[in-house]
Each structure stands twice: as structure tokens, then as C-alpha cells.
Amino acid sequence: MSYTKVNLCQIPELNLSCIGCCGTITGTKEQVMKALKKNTLEFEESKKLPLEKFIKRYDGDALRTCGICHNLIINDEGKMICPAHPILNNNIDIRKNYCDIYYICKSAFVFGMWSYDKKDKFMRFLKFKTKNGMDWYEYSVKMDNGTIIEEFENSKFA
């Protein structure tokens, strides 16, 4: 895996999707998955409407009780995504005025400052972690709160 092409939010080679910055995960994995499925169903039901209608369908709090954004869905490939993300919309950011589009988690920030060699070591660490049971939920929580960086720094991989 090459550090030059990695997006820590979506790592298909490791089957990891991070949703840590799309709210503050306070629920269990089961609660978050239930919310993701509900969001996905609502998205499917609203496909005939402009995407902005889906994004702005809730007044008030943009987060579900489990802490994730109402707009996160599971796509056909099983990845957790935001359908309003610019990567999916010809670089038009439909999330603007709805979420903090400039937010970057501590883990992604620190990763961005590392040398190529250290980034490569971190990717090997993530591969090891996923082979030993780390899933999207654990990855998301640990990416957002920064503990994945601490684990890496204290590992044999660093």
C-alpha cells in the first residue's frame, strides 16, 4: 500500500471507512449501524429529490442519538460515506453551511505531517490491526479521538 495514495477516511485495501469526524460517536457499534441503515433507507427514498433536500431534511440537531450525522449512509460497496461530499459531486461541496467542512481529526493531521517512511509504517500498523480484528467502528472512534496514533507510537511498527 502506498502512502501517496492513501485517504485515511476510506482505505478499501483494509476495508476501513472512518466516520469519526461526522459527528461524535457516542453509541455502540450496533446503535451506529442501525442509524446508518436508517439514513441509507431515507437516502434511497429521497433519490428523486435534489440532494440538498436530503441533506437538510432535519431541523435542529444534525446528529442522531448515537452521535453520527443524519447524512452518513452505507453505499453499494459497504463503505460509510456522505453523499454530499465533494469527491462524489464533481468537487462541489454540498455539505457547506451544514457541517464543519474544515474539520480534520488529530490522527489525520498528525499523519499528514509525517515522513513518507513513517506513513508507510503506520499503514503496515493498520494492516496488522485489521488482521487482528479492528473494524470500521473501532477505527473511526480511535481515529477521531487520536488513540490510534498513540497505539502506533507505542508499537513495534513506529
pLDDT number for residue 102: 87
- Residue 125 covered by a domain: yes
DSSP, collapsed to helix, strand or coil, labels residue 11 as strand
- Residue 27 covered by a domain: yes
List Cα–Cα distances, 64 to 10, 22, 36, 119, in angstroms.
22, 11, 10, 33
- Residue 20 covered by a domain: yes
Confidence of residue 1 (pLDDT cuts 50, 70, 90): low
- Residue 5 covered by a domain: no
- Residue 58 covered by a domain: yes
pLDDT digits (tens, 9 = 90+) for 51-95: 988 988 887 677 899 999 999 999 998 899 999 988 888 988 888
Q: How far is the C-alpha of 158 from the C-alpha of 117, rounded, in Å?
A: 10
Q: Which domain holds residue 60?
A: 10-153
Q: How many domains does the chain have?
A: 1
- Is residue 33 a contact partner of residue 145, using CB atoms and an 8 Å limit? no
- Residue 1 covered by a domain: no
DSSP, collapsed to helix, strand or coil, labels residue 88 as helix
Q: Give the pTM.
A: 0.89
Q: How far is the C-alpha of 150 from the C-alpha of 56, rounded, in Å?
A: 36
Burial category of 2 from C-beta neighbours within 10 Å (exposed 0-12, middle 13-18, buried 19 and up) = exposed
- Residue 158 covered by a domain: no
- Residue 111 covered by a domain: yes
